[in-house]
Structure 1
Amino acid sequence: MDPVQSNAHHSRHVRHLWTAAGLIALAIGIIGAFLPVLPTTPLVLLAAYCFGKGSPRLRAWITSHPRFRASIEDWEATGAIPPKVKIFSCTIMAATFITSALLGLSPIALAAQGFLMGIGAIYVLTRPNR
């Protein structure tokens, strides 16, 4: 196989992987709409990014979808997260940490969870508002 055909073949596989990652992120995000522990918006943003690398058709669909369009546009234009989403995200992180403590997770697990959620909360809270 000549190198040009090999690169085209490789890039097609890479695009399929990006598309699959986007579909998985979107599916988990949709599940998150019904289960408050899963963060819908970041997963939809991830899906839009993955679709941008793998499927222009799916990227066009998700960025024009009435439910997802505003969040994607806000994020891509300014990195904005609405205050309501910030409060919800931090509340879920705190509730998850408290639940983990009540369930008796080890101090090491709680420390790791608290540290990582703290980084997540700082990131969310320092993004601009919509």
Structure 2
Amino acid sequence: MLKTVVRISLMIAGWVSLALAVAGVVLPVLPTTPFVLLSAGCFAKSSPRFHQWLLRQKYFGQMIRDYQAYRGIQKQTKIRAISLIWLSMTASALVIGKVWLAAMLFSIAICVSLYLWRMPNAPSPSPQVIHEVN
């Protein structure tokens, strides 16, 4: 009984975390990567089927596999994420127009950028060679 409750709770937490990760793609203050990794961890403990589904996803799968294998993310992913963080935080600060909120947004951007930059670099995947069969 307790195992079932824990399993269901982890599955719910996995889906909530994944929903927050998807929201984090468009919301500047919500980080995507930690929620995706949390979702993968919850699914790994509760549902191998959902975990495998998540690993096969086009946008999130490689990030999860890199983190599981190397405890890091690819350098180009870091650069893209940090660039988008600063672009969205700057746009948000300009739209808000309040100095104290802009300072808060920029302090969040600094912290998240430092966190991402300090993560180990996962190696870039080697290009797959396509062999023609004659």
Q: TM-score, normalised by structure 1?
A: 0.71
Counterpart CA distance in 2 for 1:32 and 1:109 is: 19
Distance 1:122 1:31, change over 3 A: closer
Indicate whether 1:125 and 2:117 are aligned: yes
Query: Which secondary structure state, in structure 2, belongs to the residue aligned with residue 93 of structure 1?
Result: helix
Residues 77-100 of structure 1: CA deviation (Å, up to 9, x unaligned): 222211221111111111122112
1:17 to partner: Cα distance:
2.0
Q: TM-score, normalised by structure 2?
A: 0.69
Match of 1:21 in 2: 13
User: Any conservation in 1 of the 2:96–2:102 contact (CA below 8 Å)?
Assistant: no
Deviating more after overlay: 22-31 vs 109-118: 22-31
Query: Which secondary structure state, in structure 2, belongs to the residue aligned with residue 120 of structure 1?
Result: helix
Distance 1:105 1:90, change over 3 A: same
Match of 1:76 in 2: 68
Counterpart CA distance in 2 for 1:70 and 1:98 is: 28
Indicate whether 1:101 and 2:93 are aligned: yes
Match of 1:116 in 2: 108
- Structure 2 residue runs of 5 or longer lacking an equivalent are 123-134
Query: What amino acid is the match of 1:71?
Result: M
Match of 2:126 in 1: none
Matched-pair identity in % = 31
1:45 to partner: Cα distance:
2.2
Distance 1:106 1:47, change over 3 A: same
Q: How many residues align?
A: 120
Query: What amino acid is the match of 1:121?
Result: S
- Structure 1 residue runs of 5 or longer lacking an equivalent are 1-7
Distance 1:14 1:108, change over 3 A: farther
Aligned CA RMSD, in angstroms, stands at 2.7
Residues 65-116 of structure 1: CA deviation (Å, up to 9, x unaligned): 2634432221012222112211111111111221122113432222222212
